[in-house]
Amino acid sequence: MDTSGRARAGASSLLHVKGLRAGYGRVPVLHGVDVWVGEGEIVGVLGHNGMGKTTLLKTLMGLVPATGGSIHFDGMDITRDRSHQRARLGIGYVPQGRGIFPMLSVRDNLRMGIAAHGADDEVAAIDRMLAEFPQLERLLDRPGGALSGGEQQLLALARCLVSDPQLLLLDEPTEGIQPSIVDMIEDKLRELATERGLSILLVEQNLEFITDLSDKLVLLNKGQVAGVIDRADYADAPLIAEFTGLNSRGGSAKAAPVATNGATPATNGAAAPTRGADPFALHDPIQRLARMTVQRPTFAQMKSITEDFGMHLSDERIREFMGLMEASIKHYDTLDQMPDNLPPVVYPRTSGYRPTADENPYNAWYVKTDIKGAPRGALAGKTVALKDNVCLAGVPMMNGASTLKGYVPDVDATVVTRMLDAGATIKGKAHCEYFCFSGGSHTNATGPVQNPRKLGHTTGGSSSGSGALVAAGEVDIAIGGDQGGSIRMPASFCGIYGMKPTHGLVPYSGVMPIETTIDHTGPMTGNVYDNALCLEVIAGKDGLDPRQYAPRTDAYTAALGKGVRGMRIALVREGFGRPESEVVVDETVRRAGDLYRKLGATVDEVSIPFHATAMAVWLPIAAEGGTNQMMRGNGMGTGWKGLHTTSLLDYHANWRSRADELADPLKITMFLGEYFQRFHRGHYYAKAQNQARNLRKAYDDMLASYDILMMPTTAMRAPPIPPSDAPLGLVVQRAFEMIENTAPFDVTGHPSMSVPCGMVDGLPVGMMLTAKHWAESTIYQAASAFEAAGDWTRM
């Protein structure tokens, strides 16, 4: 066995990686990796999920910066070269998930590869690729998103190979594709290596595929090389069993020790076999994976499943069940070969770019774009930012989380399509909090989002970037999300207008869920008109969202300018004078009530006692439900019909291998939710959902006599952002201290809007207006009357 990791005998080294270190922000992933790839050599990288395999390829391609070590390609040091420079030198990259443009045709996808490398004769280049991959010829005019997984992988390979790279970096090429195309890809890669000298560095979890194809395997464990196994020793290597869960028989193979001093372990001089020789012919065979679309369970996996269910089965009984399961799993094979059923992506766009610090003074942008919608429509001329939990096809999305960084959606959320249809221009993705579980703006993995009204203070969360961009005047409209107040709290702290519509009024399809019964999405704007106009565009049933039970829409802009004479407004006593309340906030909102009286409304103080304890209803739903659906359910969970964004589900599942990176407010929520689910059977989640009906009734009873319920949106103005070395208690406090008034209406689903009503010491105060289900027009009527009464910053 070759334990040095050097290129096979007779092959000169094309890629030489030494002591490579890399990671995401402050989180290291690669810890001194050494890899050599020879000319015409195929090297497989094997390891569990989360061990750094994909990060290795991204670092080699220049998509993740190296923090240490060196990368030499064809004798040149490329460690600091950008990704496009590496591509020009002859490195090609096909990412996991293929990275094709779903809205473009196969022909245009190939043209993108040609344009990126400046080929002179486009027609000849396409013809050359069709000769290599004749299966694509009949698909030339079909959108990339309509192809099967296997066809997409062939397209991704063809688009990469059109530039004649010397080295191909290939990430999980067999994932989710039919067996016939797996065979085809294997044959093509072997041909490219043997006949054309293409070198390939391959990440793959299909053991049969990677062992059939590779000259050697590099075993990666927690960002370090745990061993290098030569082809001749595959059948004898216990490390393969360790890394795959498959059993092996025969002699033992020695793994390369991880070098700690930068020295390269010495080779044992093992000769490499001829490419194509059967590594299993001279040894007892590894228990091999059947080449099928869906990976079959290993015995170890099945044993673990039975134990998790509290069952005590003999090994023989488990194997008997496994045999009987095969017929059922074949149905999964059939399903896996079907193309996904996703809404079409209509409007062209590029993937955007990460703005510089000068372009992003508040750290509010994640990605900037310039996606133009229809030439005419209600939102023509309006600029929009999307909270970064809203899918925008082809544009990166991280939802504030380091563990999701690198994900690129393949669908547009319904709200995106509707705004583009109405003529809006989408200017980019706005940073949000770590998986949206913070009412402060200090948990995003890239750093805190600053409040444009007063730097050093929170914008509120979790739609933190959305609030900042509207307040700074960088966009007209931002889309936010609200499960506990995450539209209204940033609106309050930033001094803008934020509407949480009635639950189900605006389709949530294509937005990353937290918990279906409290998920809301809606507009954040600098004035009432833009807010009402945007809601007119995005509201209404889309047939893809189970949250939408007979939504009733309205012409919301028609309510503006009607005044409030005759309107009845209830100041809810329990929303004032809370333990966390600032006196100046209560006073400012009460003055707003006085102004409404002057404008002709009846304003009374009322009591809704349940509001004071409503957090006892919201918390189990958010903590237990969010842990189940967003985290354990990989964002989707089960039990509902509608649009399941499978690409997001697959990518988000990676959080388990990087769970230490999760933000502390999210961790404490998960601890709470998991404890009550695991040790209290989910009893309190169920009871909270039952109590939610009583809570809604408490508000509805008061709304039978009043048009609007009014109280402070947040009991305080925007507090300071906690320092980077803040104690855990302060980090958690700053995430949840402001949600007591907003969260109850996520449970009950009432429409609720934050309206700026005063400025104290440079920090805005927001009042919250809440109405009956589907009565958004009533709220807009009241909000526009207050807006027209004068400059809120001087009230």
Tokens 């993108």 locate to: 112
- Specify which residues 225 forms β-bridges with: 220
Q: Which tokens in the block code for residue 33? A: 């990796």
- Specify which residues 372 forms β-bridges with: 425
> What burial letters (b/e) apply to 200-221, b meaning 16+ CB within 10 Å?
bbbbbbbbbbbbbbbbbbbbbb
Tokens 């994976």 locate to: 289
- Specify which residues 568 forms β-bridges with: 602
Distances from the Cα of 498 to the Cα of 416, 495, 715, 743, 749, angstroms: 18, 9, 16, 14, 15
In the chain, the amino acid numbered 29 is V
In the chain, the amino acid numbered 641 is K
Length of the chain: 795
In the chain, the amino acid numbered 200 is I
Instruction: Report the C-alpha gap between 722 and 731 in whole angstroms.
Output: 6
Active site residues: 387, 462, 486
Helices (H), 266-314: 299-308
CB 506 within 8 A of CB 544: no
Find, among 525, 507, 518, the residue nearest to 416 by Cα: 507
Sort 650 into a burial class: Cβ within 10 Å, 0-12 / 13-18 / 19+: middle
Torsion of CA 444, 398, 514, 766, to 10 degrees: 50
Instruction: Report the C-alpha gap between 458 and 719 in whole angstroms.
Output: 6
Helices (H), 599-726: 609-612, 615-620, 626, 646-652, 664-679, 683-703
Q: Which tokens in the block code for residue 114? A: 């040609």
Cα 735 to chain center, whole Å? 21
CB 427 within 8 A of CB 461: no
Tokens 């583009």 locate to: 420
Cα 371 to chain center, whole Å? 20
Sort 390 into a burial class: Cβ within 10 Å, 0-12 / 13-18 / 19+: buried
Instruction: Report the C-alpha gap between 659 and 336 in whole angstroms.
Output: 28
Helices (H), 214-352: 238-244, 299-308, 315-336
What are the strands of the beta sheet with 763-770, ordered from one edge?
A: 365-372, 425-430, 383-387, 477-481, 521-525, 497-500, 752-760, 763-770, 708-712, 568-572, 602-606
CB 480 within 8 A of CB 465: no
Instruction: Report the C-alpha gap between 724 and 469 in whole angstroms.
Output: 23
How, if at all, do strands 224-230 and 216-221 pair?
antiparallel
Instruction: Report the C-alpha gap between 749 and 700 in whole angstroms.
Output: 11
What is the H or E stretch that residue 192 is in? helix 179-196
Close Cβ partners of 543 (under 8 Å, ≥ 6 residues apart): none
Close Cβ partners of 522 (under 8 Å, ≥ 6 residues apart): 479, 480, 482, 487, 498, 499, 500, 501, 506, 535, 538
